[in-house]
Amino acid sequence: MILDILFPDRCINCSRIINADQLVCNLCFKQIHFIHFDYFDENSVKEKCRLLFPVENSFALMQFEEEDLSRKIIHELKYKKRKKIGKIIAGWTAERLDFKDQKPDLLVSVPLHPKKLKERGYNQLHLFTETLSEHYQIPFDHELFKRNHYSKAQALKDKKHRLKTENTFSITQNISGKHILLIDDVFTTGNTLAAIAWEILKSGNNKVSILVMAVDL
């Protein structure tokens, strides 16, 4: 197409021309700090999670640092209306994560606050989750959790209470006997993942594993 010639895709880091299925050029790709966590082994995400809730396994794709390329990548995905990036990141994940014979039963990503969803227009985790679902042949459920929105009355209360309310989720149907892989973009405190994990664990005899695009180590 003529537009592709006039406006080719460019590397988000250095602006070199790249193929349409790329996000960064080959040189910049080498600068991404992929972390080679073994999903089944001890790793820092698992250690952090364990302080908050019982976790089975965990995987993080990239290191999330100040001035890091991973920060730029996640920023493009979340704030630049480039939801297709989720598919590319899922491809990088699929090349590095092997569930062996212990595939989780269901993929569930962190839901957005309805207000944020309206602002952004998309949940940045959906295409990522759907691409992984197709690759690993594991079903996904985008409707299993709802993020609770705070009422006006609650919003008037102190900020601490409001933050707490924003971080609550409700499960829309009871589940039991499932191993659920919880998906988020960046792991920082782990509080959001913990809030959802506890809902899953309270719902029935379930197990929870974690997959994040990046971790702030």
Sign of the torsion formed by the C-alpha atoms of 165, 168, 171 and 176: negative
**Binding to Zn ion by residue 154, rule CB under 5 A?**
no
Question: Judged by CB, which is closer to Zn ion: 74, or 200?
Answer: 74
Question: Judged by CB, which is closer to Zn ion: 25, or 125?
Answer: 25
- Contact positions with Zn ion (CB under 5 A) in 181-210: none
**Burial (0-12, 13-18, 19+ Cβ within 10 Å), 87:** middle
Residue 65: name the closest of 91, 34, 26 by CA: 34
Judge whether 73 and 80 are in contact, CB under 8 Å.
no
Question: Judged by CB, which is closer to Zn ion: 14, or 117?
Answer: 14
Terminal C-alpha separation, the chain: 43
- Type of residue found at 19: N
Residue 212: name the closest of 95, 84, 104, 74 by CA: 74
Q: How far is the CB of 12 from Zn ion (least distance, A)?
A: 8
Q: How far is the CB of 50 from Zn ion (least distance, A)?
A: 37
Q: How far is the CB of 138 from Zn ion (least distance, A)?
A: 33
- Contact positions with Zn ion (CB under 5 A) in 13-52: 13-14, 16, 25, 28
Task: Candidates 9, 10, 11, 142: give the one binding Zn ion (CB under 5 A).
Answer: 11
Question: Judged by CB, which is closer to Zn ion: 13, or 44?
Answer: 13
Q: How far is the CB of 168 from Zn ion (least distance, A)?
A: 41
Q: Hey, which residues does 181 pair with through a beta bridge?
A: 107, 209
Question: Judged by CB, which is closer to Zn ion: 31, or 189?
Answer: 31
Task: Kindly determine how many residues on this chain lie close enough to bind Zn ion according to the rule CB under 5 A.
Answer: 6
Q: How far is the CB of 95 from Zn ion (least distance, A)?
A: 19
Judge whether 34 and 93 are in contact, CB under 8 Å.
no
Distances in Å between the Cα of 203 and the Cα atoms of 1, 74, 111, 200 are 51, 31, 18, 5
Judge whether 154 and 162 are in contact, CB under 8 Å.
yes
Q: How far is the CB of 18 from Zn ion (least distance, A)?
A: 7
Question: Judged by CB, which is closer to Zn ion: 32, or 175?
Answer: 32
What is the binding site for Zn ion (CB under 5 A)? 11, 13-14, 16, 25, 28
